Chain A
Amino acid sequence: MFLQTGCSVQGCGRPSVFLLDTCLQHAADPQAYAGLLRSRLGDSSRLAELNLEGLEAEDLDLRGRRVRCLLLSHARLRGARFDGARIRLLFLDFASLADCSFDGCRAHCLVLGGAAMERCSFRGADLLRCNFVGARGRDCVFDGSDLYASRFTSAALERASFRDCNLKQVHFEGASLQEVDFQASNTEEAFFR
Protein backbone atom coordinates (compact mmCIF):
# COMPACT_ATOMS: atom_id res chain seq x y z
CA MET A 1 0.00 0.00 0.00
CA PHE A 2 2.79 2.41 0.88
CA LEU A 3 4.75 1.38 -2.21
CA GLN A 4 1.75 1.45 -4.50
CA THR A 5 1.80 2.35 -8.16
CA GLY A 6 0.84 5.83 -9.17
CA CYS A 7 -2.23 7.12 -10.99
CA SER A 8 -2.12 6.04 -14.63
CA VAL A 9 -2.83 9.57 -15.85
CA GLN A 10 0.42 11.01 -17.12
CA GLY A 11 1.80 13.79 -14.95
CA CYS A 12 -0.37 12.95 -11.95
CA GLY A 13 1.81 12.19 -8.96
CA ARG A 14 -0.98 10.81 -6.77
CA PRO A 15 -1.24 7.10 -6.01
CA SER A 16 -4.03 5.02 -7.46
CA VAL A 17 -6.89 3.94 -5.20
CA PHE A 18 -8.20 0.47 -4.47
CA LEU A 19 -9.96 -1.16 -7.48
CA LEU A 20 -8.86 1.58 -9.91
CA ASP A 21 -5.66 2.34 -11.78
CA THR A 22 -6.13 6.06 -11.22
CA CYS A 23 -6.54 8.36 -8.25
CA LEU A 24 -10.10 9.44 -7.43
CA GLN A 25 -9.63 12.82 -9.09
CA HIS A 26 -8.96 11.06 -12.39
CA ALA A 27 -11.55 8.31 -11.96
CA ALA A 28 -13.99 7.98 -14.87
CA ASP A 29 -16.94 8.14 -12.48
CA PRO A 30 -15.86 9.30 -9.02
CA GLN A 31 -19.49 9.55 -7.85
CA ALA A 32 -20.00 5.84 -8.42
CA TYR A 33 -16.83 4.83 -6.59
CA ALA A 34 -18.42 4.66 -3.12
CA GLY A 35 -21.08 2.29 -4.46
CA LEU A 36 -18.50 0.15 -6.19
CA LEU A 37 -16.53 0.01 -2.98
CA ARG A 38 -19.59 -0.98 -0.94
CA SER A 39 -20.42 -3.86 -3.25
CA ARG A 40 -16.82 -5.04 -3.34
CA LEU A 41 -16.21 -4.89 0.40
CA GLY A 42 -19.63 -6.32 1.21
CA ASP A 43 -19.70 -7.79 4.67
CA SER A 44 -16.05 -8.80 4.79
CA SER A 45 -14.99 -8.62 8.40
CA ARG A 46 -11.42 -7.54 7.68
CA LEU A 47 -10.12 -4.60 5.72
CA ALA A 48 -6.36 -4.41 5.34
CA GLU A 49 -3.89 -2.37 3.33
CA LEU A 50 -6.32 -0.46 1.15
CA ASN A 51 -5.88 2.98 -0.31
CA LEU A 52 -9.17 4.93 -0.31
CA GLU A 53 -7.65 8.42 -0.25
CA GLY A 54 -10.09 11.19 -1.09
CA LEU A 55 -13.17 8.97 -0.78
CA GLU A 56 -16.49 10.83 -0.62
CA ALA A 57 -19.20 8.75 0.98
CA GLU A 58 -22.35 8.94 3.07
CA ASP A 59 -23.25 6.35 5.68
CA LEU A 60 -20.13 4.24 5.23
CA ASP A 61 -20.67 1.33 7.60
CA LEU A 62 -17.56 -0.30 9.05
CA ARG A 63 -19.14 -1.29 12.37
CA GLY A 64 -17.42 -4.19 14.08
CA ARG A 65 -14.87 -4.66 11.30
CA ARG A 66 -11.19 -5.28 11.77
CA VAL A 67 -9.32 -2.52 10.02
CA ARG A 68 -5.55 -2.50 9.50
CA CYS A 69 -3.52 -0.10 7.42
CA LEU A 70 -6.31 1.82 5.72
CA LEU A 71 -5.75 5.14 3.96
CA LEU A 72 -8.69 7.54 4.03
CA SER A 73 -6.63 10.73 3.92
CA HIS A 74 -8.58 13.79 2.69
CA ALA A 75 -11.81 11.76 2.65
CA ARG A 76 -15.19 13.44 3.04
CA LEU A 77 -17.42 11.25 5.15
CA ARG A 78 -20.89 11.97 6.45
CA GLY A 79 -22.62 9.58 8.83
CA ALA A 80 -19.80 7.01 8.72
CA ARG A 81 -20.01 4.32 11.41
CA PHE A 82 -16.90 2.74 12.93
CA ASP A 83 -18.68 1.59 16.12
CA GLY A 84 -17.05 -1.43 17.73
CA ALA A 85 -14.42 -1.66 14.99
CA ARG A 86 -10.92 -2.84 15.81
CA ILE A 87 -8.58 -0.39 14.15
CA ARG A 88 -4.84 -0.53 13.75
CA LEU A 89 -3.40 2.26 11.67
CA LEU A 90 -6.14 4.22 9.94
CA PHE A 91 -5.20 7.49 8.25
CA LEU A 92 -7.99 10.06 8.21
CA ASP A 93 -5.66 13.06 8.07
CA PHE A 94 -7.29 16.20 6.67
CA ALA A 95 -10.54 14.29 6.32
CA SER A 96 -13.86 16.04 6.70
CA LEU A 97 -16.07 14.09 9.08
CA ALA A 98 -19.65 15.03 9.87
CA ASP A 99 -21.96 13.05 12.17
CA CYS A 100 -19.52 10.13 12.25
CA SER A 101 -19.43 7.61 15.07
CA PHE A 102 -16.52 5.68 16.56
CA ASP A 103 -18.40 4.54 19.70
CA GLY A 104 -16.80 1.59 21.46
CA CYS A 105 -14.15 1.10 18.81
CA ARG A 106 -10.71 -0.13 19.80
CA ALA A 107 -8.25 1.99 17.89
CA HIS A 108 -4.47 2.07 17.93
CA CYS A 109 -2.82 4.70 15.79
CA LEU A 110 -5.85 6.40 14.30
CA VAL A 111 -4.58 9.51 12.52
CA LEU A 112 -6.98 12.46 12.43
CA GLY A 113 -4.31 15.15 12.13
CA GLY A 114 -5.68 18.25 10.40
CA ALA A 115 -9.14 16.70 10.12
CA ALA A 116 -12.36 18.69 10.47
CA MET A 117 -14.82 16.90 12.77
CA GLU A 118 -18.39 18.01 13.35
CA ARG A 119 -20.75 16.22 15.73
CA CYS A 120 -18.54 13.16 15.88
CA SER A 121 -18.85 10.64 18.69
CA PHE A 122 -16.06 8.62 20.30
CA ARG A 123 -18.00 7.39 23.37
CA GLY A 124 -16.42 4.53 25.29
CA ALA A 125 -13.71 4.07 22.68
CA ASP A 126 -10.11 3.01 23.11
CA LEU A 127 -8.15 5.67 21.23
CA LEU A 128 -4.61 4.68 22.07
CA ARG A 129 -1.73 6.63 20.56
CA CYS A 130 -4.02 8.47 18.19
CA ASN A 131 -3.10 11.64 16.33
CA PHE A 132 -5.44 14.65 16.51
CA VAL A 133 -2.66 17.18 15.86
CA GLY A 134 -4.15 20.29 14.27
CA ALA A 135 -7.62 18.73 14.12
CA ARG A 136 -10.64 21.01 14.31
CA GLY A 137 -13.60 19.67 16.23
CA ARG A 138 -17.02 21.05 16.99
CA ASP A 139 -19.60 19.34 19.20
CA CYS A 140 -17.56 16.16 19.52
CA VAL A 141 -17.99 13.71 22.39
CA PHE A 142 -15.19 11.54 23.82
CA ASP A 143 -16.98 10.56 27.06
CA GLY A 144 -15.69 7.40 28.71
CA SER A 145 -12.85 6.95 26.23
CA ASP A 146 -9.28 5.88 26.87
CA LEU A 147 -7.04 8.36 25.07
CA TYR A 148 -3.72 7.09 26.40
CA ALA A 149 -0.72 8.77 24.71
CA SER A 150 -2.84 10.50 22.08
CA ARG A 151 -1.93 13.96 20.84
CA PHE A 152 -4.19 16.98 20.38
CA THR A 153 -1.28 19.40 19.89
CA SER A 154 -2.40 22.59 18.07
CA ALA A 155 -5.96 21.23 17.77
CA ALA A 156 -8.99 23.53 17.97
CA LEU A 157 -11.90 22.04 19.87
CA GLU A 158 -15.18 23.81 20.46
CA ARG A 159 -17.92 22.38 22.69
CA ALA A 160 -16.17 19.03 23.20
CA SER A 161 -16.85 16.64 26.04
CA PHE A 162 -14.11 14.54 27.66
CA ARG A 163 -16.03 13.28 30.70
CA ASP A 164 -14.55 10.34 32.59
CA CYS A 165 -11.71 9.84 30.11
CA ASN A 166 -8.22 8.45 30.62
CA LEU A 167 -5.94 11.34 29.68
CA LYS A 168 -2.64 9.82 30.77
CA GLN A 169 0.18 11.09 28.54
CA VAL A 170 -2.28 12.99 26.34
CA HIS A 171 -0.82 16.16 24.80
CA PHE A 172 -2.92 19.32 24.44
CA GLU A 173 -0.04 21.80 23.99
CA GLY A 174 -1.02 24.78 21.90
CA ALA A 175 -4.60 23.54 21.56
CA SER A 176 -7.52 25.94 21.54
CA LEU A 177 -10.14 24.53 23.91
CA GLN A 178 -13.44 26.37 24.05
CA GLU A 179 -16.27 25.05 26.21
CA VAL A 180 -14.46 21.76 26.71
CA ASP A 181 -15.64 19.61 29.61
CA PHE A 182 -13.05 17.44 31.37
CA GLN A 183 -15.25 16.42 34.31
CA ALA A 184 -14.00 13.28 36.15
CA SER A 185 -11.01 12.90 33.82
CA ASN A 186 -7.39 12.75 34.99
CA THR A 187 -6.27 16.08 33.53
CA GLU A 188 -3.32 16.11 35.95
CA GLU A 189 -1.74 13.35 33.87
CA ALA A 190 -2.16 15.22 30.57
CA PHE A 191 0.13 17.94 29.19
CA PHE A 192 -1.40 21.38 28.60
CA ARG A 193 1.44 23.90 29.22
Chain B
Amino acid sequence: MKFYNYYSVTHFSNCYLLGGEAGQDALLIDPGIFDEGLLALIEGNGWYVRHVLLTHAHLAHVNGLRTLSKVYDLQIHALQPEAVEFPAEALQETDSLRLCGFPIRVLATPGHSNDSACFHIGRMLFTGDTLSAGGIGETASTYERALLLSSIRSKLLGLPDEVFLFPGHGPPSTLEVEKRFNPYLADDSPRLRQ
Protein backbone atom coordinates (compact mmCIF):
# COMPACT_ATOMS: atom_id res chain seq x y z
CA MET B 1 0.00 0.00 0.00
CA LYS B 2 1.14 3.53 -0.77
CA PHE B 3 -0.15 6.49 1.16
CA TYR B 4 -0.02 10.21 0.47
CA ASN B 5 -1.34 13.23 2.33
CA TYR B 6 -2.13 16.18 0.14
CA TYR B 7 -2.68 19.72 1.37
CA SER B 8 -5.33 22.03 -0.01
CA VAL B 9 -3.95 25.55 -0.09
CA THR B 10 -7.39 26.96 -0.75
CA HIS B 11 -9.10 25.55 2.34
CA PHE B 12 -6.06 24.61 4.47
CA SER B 13 -7.41 21.08 4.66
CA ASN B 14 -5.91 17.63 4.23
CA CYS B 15 -6.81 15.12 1.55
CA TYR B 16 -5.55 11.55 1.73
CA LEU B 17 -4.82 9.12 -1.08
CA LEU B 18 -4.37 5.36 -0.65
CA GLY B 19 -3.58 2.87 -3.36
CA GLY B 20 -1.82 -0.37 -4.14
CA GLU B 21 0.07 -1.48 -7.20
CA ALA B 22 0.02 0.46 -10.47
CA GLY B 23 -3.16 -0.21 -12.41
CA GLN B 24 -5.23 -0.71 -9.29
CA ASP B 25 -8.04 1.41 -7.95
CA ALA B 26 -7.28 4.13 -5.43
CA LEU B 27 -9.22 5.53 -2.51
CA LEU B 28 -9.44 9.27 -1.78
CA ILE B 29 -10.51 10.66 1.56
CA ASP B 30 -11.85 14.23 1.79
CA PRO B 31 -10.94 15.74 -1.59
CA GLY B 32 -11.04 19.37 -0.50
CA ILE B 33 -9.18 20.15 -3.67
CA PHE B 34 -8.48 18.50 -6.98
CA ASP B 35 -5.65 20.17 -8.83
CA GLU B 36 -2.66 19.30 -11.01
CA GLY B 37 -0.55 18.21 -8.05
CA LEU B 38 -3.08 15.65 -6.86
CA LEU B 39 -3.77 14.49 -10.40
CA ALA B 40 -0.02 13.97 -10.90
CA LEU B 41 0.16 11.86 -7.72
CA ILE B 42 -2.74 9.68 -8.85
CA GLU B 43 -1.61 9.28 -12.44
CA GLY B 44 2.08 8.99 -11.50
CA ASN B 45 1.23 5.89 -9.50
CA GLY B 46 -0.89 4.49 -12.30
CA TRP B 47 -4.03 4.58 -10.20
CA TYR B 48 -7.71 5.13 -10.99
CA VAL B 49 -9.76 6.81 -8.28
CA ARG B 50 -12.72 4.50 -7.79
CA HIS B 51 -13.93 5.44 -4.32
CA VAL B 52 -14.15 8.64 -2.27
CA LEU B 53 -14.82 8.61 1.48
CA LEU B 54 -16.13 11.78 3.12
CA THR B 55 -15.64 12.46 6.83
CA HIS B 56 -18.32 15.14 6.45
CA ALA B 57 -19.71 17.33 3.71
CA HIS B 58 -18.24 20.72 4.59
CA LEU B 59 -16.76 22.57 1.62
CA ALA B 60 -13.14 22.27 2.77
CA HIS B 61 -13.46 18.51 2.45
CA VAL B 62 -15.56 18.10 -0.69
CA ASN B 63 -14.64 21.01 -2.93
CA GLY B 64 -12.61 18.82 -5.28
CA LEU B 65 -15.56 16.53 -6.06
CA ARG B 66 -16.89 18.64 -8.93
CA THR B 67 -13.75 18.22 -11.05
CA LEU B 68 -12.88 14.79 -9.71
CA SER B 69 -16.22 13.33 -10.75
CA LYS B 70 -15.66 14.58 -14.29
CA VAL B 71 -12.28 12.84 -14.53
CA TYR B 72 -13.07 9.53 -12.83
CA ASP B 73 -16.13 7.30 -12.72
CA LEU B 74 -16.16 7.13 -8.97
CA GLN B 75 -18.39 6.22 -6.08
CA ILE B 76 -18.79 8.67 -3.21
CA HIS B 77 -19.46 7.33 0.29
CA ALA B 78 -20.84 9.45 3.12
CA LEU B 79 -22.71 8.94 6.36
CA GLN B 80 -25.49 11.27 5.20
CA PRO B 81 -25.55 11.28 1.37
CA GLU B 82 -28.27 13.91 1.32
CA ALA B 83 -25.71 16.41 2.58
CA VAL B 84 -23.51 15.83 -0.48
CA GLU B 85 -24.02 17.74 -3.72
CA PHE B 86 -23.38 14.61 -5.79
CA PRO B 87 -24.95 11.13 -5.75
CA ALA B 88 -23.44 9.19 -2.86
CA GLU B 89 -23.76 5.84 -1.17
CA ALA B 90 -24.96 5.86 2.43
CA LEU B 91 -22.41 4.57 4.91
CA GLN B 92 -23.39 2.68 8.03
CA GLU B 93 -21.30 2.16 11.12
CA THR B 94 -19.56 -1.10 10.37
CA ASP B 95 -16.37 -3.08 10.79
CA SER B 96 -16.68 -4.78 7.45
CA LEU B 97 -16.58 -2.18 4.67
CA ARG B 98 -14.01 -3.01 2.01
CA LEU B 99 -13.03 -0.52 -0.71
CA CYS B 100 -10.11 -0.82 -3.15
CA GLY B 101 -8.98 -3.86 -1.16
CA PHE B 102 -8.69 -1.94 2.12
CA PRO B 103 -10.66 -3.11 5.16
CA ILE B 104 -12.39 -0.07 6.64
CA ARG B 105 -14.09 0.48 9.95
CA VAL B 106 -16.66 3.27 9.82
CA LEU B 107 -17.31 5.22 13.03
CA ALA B 108 -20.10 7.77 13.33
CA THR B 109 -18.81 10.71 15.38
CA PRO B 110 -21.44 13.49 15.37
CA GLY B 111 -20.62 16.77 17.06
CA HIS B 112 -18.68 18.99 14.68
CA SER B 113 -21.46 18.16 12.20
CA ASN B 114 -24.31 15.67 12.22
CA ASP B 115 -22.77 13.72 9.35
CA SER B 116 -19.25 13.43 10.83
CA ALA B 117 -17.54 10.09 10.46
CA CYS B 118 -14.07 8.70 11.13
CA PHE B 119 -12.45 5.89 9.16
CA HIS B 120 -10.13 3.32 10.71
CA ILE B 121 -7.95 1.58 8.14
CA GLY B 122 -5.12 -0.62 9.42
CA ARG B 123 -3.16 1.58 11.84
CA MET B 124 -4.57 4.79 10.37
CA LEU B 125 -7.48 6.79 11.68
CA PHE B 126 -8.92 9.53 9.49
CA THR B 127 -10.75 11.91 11.79
CA GLY B 128 -11.93 14.79 9.61
CA ASP B 129 -12.83 17.67 11.91
CA THR B 130 -13.66 15.48 14.90
CA LEU B 131 -10.18 15.30 16.44
CA SER B 132 -6.93 16.99 15.45
CA ALA B 133 -3.43 17.38 16.89
CA GLY B 134 -3.99 19.10 20.22
CA GLY B 135 -7.52 20.13 19.32
CA ILE B 136 -11.06 19.12 18.53
CA GLY B 137 -13.52 20.29 15.91
CA GLU B 138 -15.38 23.56 16.17
CA THR B 139 -18.94 23.37 17.39
CA ALA B 140 -21.83 25.80 17.33
CA SER B 141 -23.29 25.12 20.78
CA THR B 142 -22.52 23.58 24.15
CA TYR B 143 -24.78 20.66 23.21
CA GLU B 144 -22.73 19.95 20.09
CA ARG B 145 -19.51 20.33 22.10
CA ALA B 146 -20.76 17.71 24.57
CA LEU B 147 -21.87 15.47 21.71
CA LEU B 148 -18.47 15.79 20.02
CA LEU B 149 -16.57 14.94 23.20
CA SER B 150 -18.89 12.01 23.82
CA SER B 151 -18.25 10.75 20.29
CA ILE B 152 -14.49 11.04 20.74
CA ARG B 153 -14.54 9.26 24.10
CA SER B 154 -16.87 6.45 23.10
CA LYS B 155 -15.61 5.79 19.57
CA LEU B 156 -11.98 6.89 19.33
CA LEU B 157 -10.19 6.82 22.66
CA GLY B 158 -10.70 3.08 23.03
CA LEU B 159 -8.57 2.44 19.96
CA PRO B 160 -4.94 1.41 20.48
CA ASP B 161 -2.32 4.07 21.31
CA GLU B 162 -0.31 3.08 18.22
CA VAL B 163 -3.01 4.31 15.84
CA PHE B 164 -1.81 7.14 13.58
CA LEU B 165 -4.22 10.01 13.40
CA PHE B 166 -4.79 11.89 10.14
CA PRO B 167 -7.10 14.86 10.66
CA GLY B 168 -8.92 17.07 8.20
CA HIS B 169 -6.87 20.09 9.26
CA GLY B 170 -3.43 20.49 10.79
CA PRO B 171 -0.57 18.04 11.27
CA PRO B 172 -0.90 14.28 11.79
CA SER B 173 -0.63 12.81 15.26
CA THR B 174 -1.06 9.57 17.14
CA LEU B 175 -3.80 8.53 19.52
CA GLU B 176 -1.23 8.19 22.31
CA VAL B 177 -0.19 11.83 21.86
CA GLU B 178 -3.81 12.98 21.93
CA LYS B 179 -4.78 10.84 24.90
CA ARG B 180 -1.87 12.22 26.92
CA PHE B 181 -1.58 15.82 25.78
CA ASN B 182 -4.74 17.05 24.05
CA PRO B 183 -6.04 19.67 26.52
CA TYR B 184 -9.62 19.22 25.35
CA LEU B 185 -9.62 15.58 26.39
CA ALA B 186 -8.32 16.03 29.93
CA ASP B 187 -10.96 15.20 32.54
CA ASP B 188 -10.30 18.39 34.49
CA SER B 189 -9.99 20.62 31.44
CA PRO B 190 -11.77 23.97 31.76
CA ARG B 191 -12.16 23.76 27.99
CA LEU B 192 -14.72 21.01 28.51
CA ARG B 193 -17.00 23.51 30.13
CA GLN B 194 -16.62 26.17 27.44
Contact of A2 among B12, B164, B171 (CB under 8 A): B164
Among listed A35-43, A56-64, A126-134, A137-145, interface-contacting one:
A126-134
Alpha-carbon distance between A133 and B2 when the two chains are bound, in angstroms: 26
The number of inter-chain residue pairs (CB within 8 angstroms) is 102
B3 & A113 in contact (Cβ 8 Å cutoff): no
B176 & A153 in contact (Cβ 8 Å cutoff): no
B133 & A113 in contact (Cβ 8 Å cutoff): yes
B133 & A153 in contact (Cβ 8 Å cutoff): yes
- How many B residues, CB 8 Å from partner? 29
What does DSSP make chain A's interface, helix, strand, loop or mixed? loop
In the bound complex, residues from chain A placing their C-beta under 8 Å from that of B7 are: 108, 129
In the bound complex, residues from chain B placing their C-beta under 8 Å from that of A121 are: none
In B76-102, the 8 Å CB interface with A consists of 102
Answer whether residue A101 sits at the interface, using C-beta atoms and an 8 A cutoff.
no
A151 & B171 in contact (Cβ 8 Å cutoff): yes
In the bound complex, residues from chain B placing their C-beta under 8 Å from that of A93 are: 173-174, 176-177
Contacts known (A108-B7, A134-B180); A73 close to B123, Cβ less than 8 A: no
B134 & A114 in contact (Cβ 8 Å cutoff): no
A153 & B181 in contact (Cβ 8 Å cutoff): yes
Chain B residues near A (Cβ < 8 Å)? 1-3, 5, 7, 12, 102, 121-124, 133-135, 160, 162, 164, 170-174, 176-178, 180-183
Give the 4 A-B CB pairs with smallest separation, nearest first.
A134-B181, A153-B134, A113-B177, A3-B122
